[in-house]
Structure formats: structure tokens, C-alpha cells
Amino acid sequence: MRITIFGSGYVGLVTGTCLAEVGNSVMCVDVNAAKIAQLQQGKTPIYEPGLEELLNKNLAAGRLQFTTDMQLAVDFGEIQCIAVGTPPDEDGSADLQYVISVAQTIGQYATEYKLIMDKSTVPVGTAEKVRQAVQAELNARGVSCEFDVVSNPEFLKEGAAIDDFMRPDRIIVGTDNARPSELMRELYAPFNRNHDKLIVMDIHSAELTKYAANAMLATKISFMNEMAALAERVGADIEQVRIGIGSDPRIGFDFIYPGCGYGGSCFPKDVQALERTANQVGLQARILQAVEAVNYQQRHLLFDKIYQHFRQDIRGKCFAMWGLAFKPNTDDMREAPSRVILEALWAQGARVQVYDPQAMAEATRLYGKRDDLILCDTPEAAVKNADALIIVTEWRLFCSPDFPYLKSQLKQPLIFDGRNLYEPRKLQKLGFTYYAIGRGERLPA
């Protein structure tokens, strides 16, 4: 099949590369000429395990190409996939300007049947707006051209996106007639062989499914973080509680890890956007409001622990920070808890020595060169002469450090662990003062 992907960001790039990998001819189009030039050279602008290798393989095979030529892109594919960003607007609702711009572009150049596939995360009713935008452009040209619009939300986890696309849990297709259903079934046939994972529903339900899925996962995280706050106050260990409740198959172990808050490009904006959608139809989404409020508080919790430990005076202090990305196996720092903590430390006159296996370049892009941000080549270099160690991202590299070495390098044996990587009693025996999330009282050395 011939497929055009509008948008060469995270979703568009993974989608295009994986569709090419199973034999399709794919053209990815983007307005960012520098990004397209980089991709044409086989270099990915994001870090995602396995993506660059797969991209180069399909570039070399001629199944994958990149362009900035919009007319060429519209002409190329029978299937036109919209995978552009939907950033939060000022009121938290999804900004659809890029989605509508793509729809207008398709309408400006289409000369034969097109199946337009909304893969961007969009509010209920967006497919109809896309349909209207395409039709308005066709009418302006005086052209009669058949097209269909379907909702096909993505469910990719950063750090595991290739596997998620190649072995999906489910494939959601929202449509109002049979023709696009058959085309979508053909498109996804290579990923649907073991058993039928394709679920066809109406368009509004498909659009809501994506938001509901992310909101549910965010709710689990915020619930556990609230339980962690309770555990601290009653002297319980949230890690033992997590194992106890996760053993119930109705609950399971996924997304019940307490920590210093969720971040990334999806959960924060999707919870906000879903809450705004509810408000627009006269519904007060109280659970979503609570999820958002708990996460806001959680992203500030680690700094609050630091500030209180040092009696509200950290001017001139130097902190080591392990982890910048919002989660492991990505370089994405969008809405990352690390940014909240960094900026709070700087506001109080502290310096930070940081290490992350993938997100160092992203930190430089975001913050530039500054005297109070020291980028280190190794985790060990980051702790040298620091007043305390702060753990923000649960990279495996951080799971089993040389604790005697840490103790020898830190000015004082002090750890603030935002991901509960270590056993408090072990750290206490080793002479550390250890703050974690919901592990009962903090354990002094």
C-alpha cells in the first residue's frame, strides 16, 4: 500500500517506519526542512530504541522516503495519515491548528479517493472538523473527489514504541462506513495475524477511547501517589502495599509505581484536554481534576523534601541529579519532573550536576549553557562533591550503584529518591540518610 504520513515527530516517524518495515511504500512529509534533511541522512531527531536502525534499513530498501513537498505527498498515498502535534492551548484544550492545516492541504491537492486517518490524539468531534476542512478546499477548487475520514488513535509507549506498533494489544478504528474499514483491515493485516485485534467502532467512540485510556493510566499513578502520601503519615511502606494490591489480578502491577509524578507528551496534556472536553458539555470531571492536582503536587514533592531537610536554605549548595527524561529509554523531557526540580533548585540559588543516558542534549536545547547546570559524562562524575543525590528517572543504570563509592564522593551521605529504587533499611545500615516516596518515616544515618 502507498501511505503518506503528515508529521515526522514521534508518532509519525514510528508509524511510517513500521509500516514500511512490512512492505508498504511510505512517504513522510514535514514542514521542518532541517528535520527532513536529517531523516534523509538516516538520523532520527528523537531517541527511541531500535528506531534509527529500522529507519535506515527501510531507507536503503526504498520503502521509506521523506519530503517537504506537500503536493507530492498528497499525490503519493491513497492513505493519508495525520500524525501532527496537538499541543495544549491556553485553556488546556487540544490545539487543532496543525491537524486542520493538514486537512486543508489534502483538500488543496487531492485529485482521487483518499482515506484520511487521524492518528493524532484529538478531541471528540475532530474527524468531522477534518472532513469539513477538506470539503471546503475541494469546493473552493470546484473539484469533486471522494474521501473518508477515520479515527485510528495510537497507543505507543515511549521506549517501547516499535514493539507496541509491531505487536499491538488492540487496533482501534473509528469509521462510519464499510469502505475505509476494509482498507484499514488490509493496512493492519501484517500486525493482526495471531488473532483479530482490530476493533471497529463509531468515530466519536474511537476518539474518546484514546483519551480515556491515557486518563485511566494517569489516574492509577495519581492514586498510588496519594496512597504514598498516606503511607508516609501512618508509617507504612508503599512498596509493600503496592505488591499487596498488585497481586490482585483485577488491579495488576502496571502503572501503580509511586514516584515524583508523571510527565511526557501524553498524560499531562491528555488529562487536561479531556477535562476541558467535559467542561464544554457541562460535566464537571472531578476525578480528572483530582488526578491533575495530585500530579502537580507530586512533581514538587521531591524539591519540598530537599528544601525542608536543608532548613529552607540551599543557596550555594550543589546537588547531583540522576535522570532528566520523564521516563527511561527516551530523551523526552516534556513535562518531566526533572524540570520542575531543576528550576526550583536554581530559583533558590543551588547548582545541579546532572547525568542522563540519553537526555543531555535535550537539556542543553532547553536550558542552554548556564553556570548552575553542569552536564556530567557519567553518574559517578555527577555525585562528586555534591551535597546530596537526587534520583528522578528510574534508568536501570541507577538501580545498583556502588554505595560505598557514593558515600565517599558525596559531601554527606544523603539521597532523595523519587523512584523508590533502593531498600531503606539497607541504605540506613550503609550510613545514608534516605528520603523516598511513601516508604514510612525518612531513615536517618
pLDDT at position 302 is 96
pLDDT digits (tens, 9 = 90+) for 287-344: 999 999 999 999 999 999 999 999 999 999 999 999 999 999 999 999 999 999 999 9
pLDDT at position 137 is 97
How confident is residue 353, by pLDDT bands cut at 50, 70 and 90? very high
pLDDT at position 424 is 94
pLDDT digits (tens, 9 = 90+) for 153-196: 999 999 999 999 999 999 999 999 889 999 999 999 999 987 88
Query: What value does the mean pLDDT take over residues 11-40?
Result: 97
Instruction: Inform me whether the pLDDT recorded for 440 exceeds 80.
Output: no
Which residues, 6+ apart, have CB-to-CB distance to 250 below 8 Å?
none
Instruction: Inform me whether the pLDDT recorded for 445 exceeds 80.
Output: no
Q: pLDDT exceeding 90 applies to what percent of the chain?
A: 94
Instruction: Inform me whether the pLDDT recorded for 32 exceeds 90.
Output: yes
CA distance 6 to 15: 11
pLDDT at position 61 is 97
pLDDT at position 337 is 97
Residue of 437, 415, 418 whose CA lies nearest to 426 = 415
Residues assigned a catalytic role: 266
Q: What CA–CA distances, in Å, run from 159 to 232, 301, 328, 330, 366?
A: 31, 25, 7, 5, 21
Instruction: Inform me whether the pLDDT recorded for 93 exceeds 90.
Output: no
- Of 94-98, 114-118, 147-151, 357-361, which range is least confident? 94-98
pLDDT at position 76 is 98
pLDDT at position 94 is 85
How confident is residue 90, by pLDDT bands cut at 50, 70 and 90? confident
pLDDT digits (tens, 9 = 90+) for 382-421: 999 999 999 999 999 999 999 999 999 999 999 999 999 9
pLDDT digits (tens, 9 = 90+) for 50-62: 999 999 999 999 9
pLDDT at position 92 is 79
pLDDT digits (tens, 9 = 90+) for 112-156: 999 999 999 999 999 999 999 999 999 999 999 999 999 999 999
pLDDT at position 442 is 55
pLDDT digits (tens, 9 = 90+) for 262-272: 999 899 999 99
CA distance 200 to 352: 50
Give the global pTM. Answer: 0.92
Instruction: Kindly give the interhelix angle for 286-309 and 203-234, rounded to the nearest 10 degrees.
Output: 40
pLDDT at position 91 is 78
Which residues, 6+ apart, have CB-to-CB distance to 114 below 8 Å?
74, 77, 78, 79, 80, 106, 145, 146, 147, 148
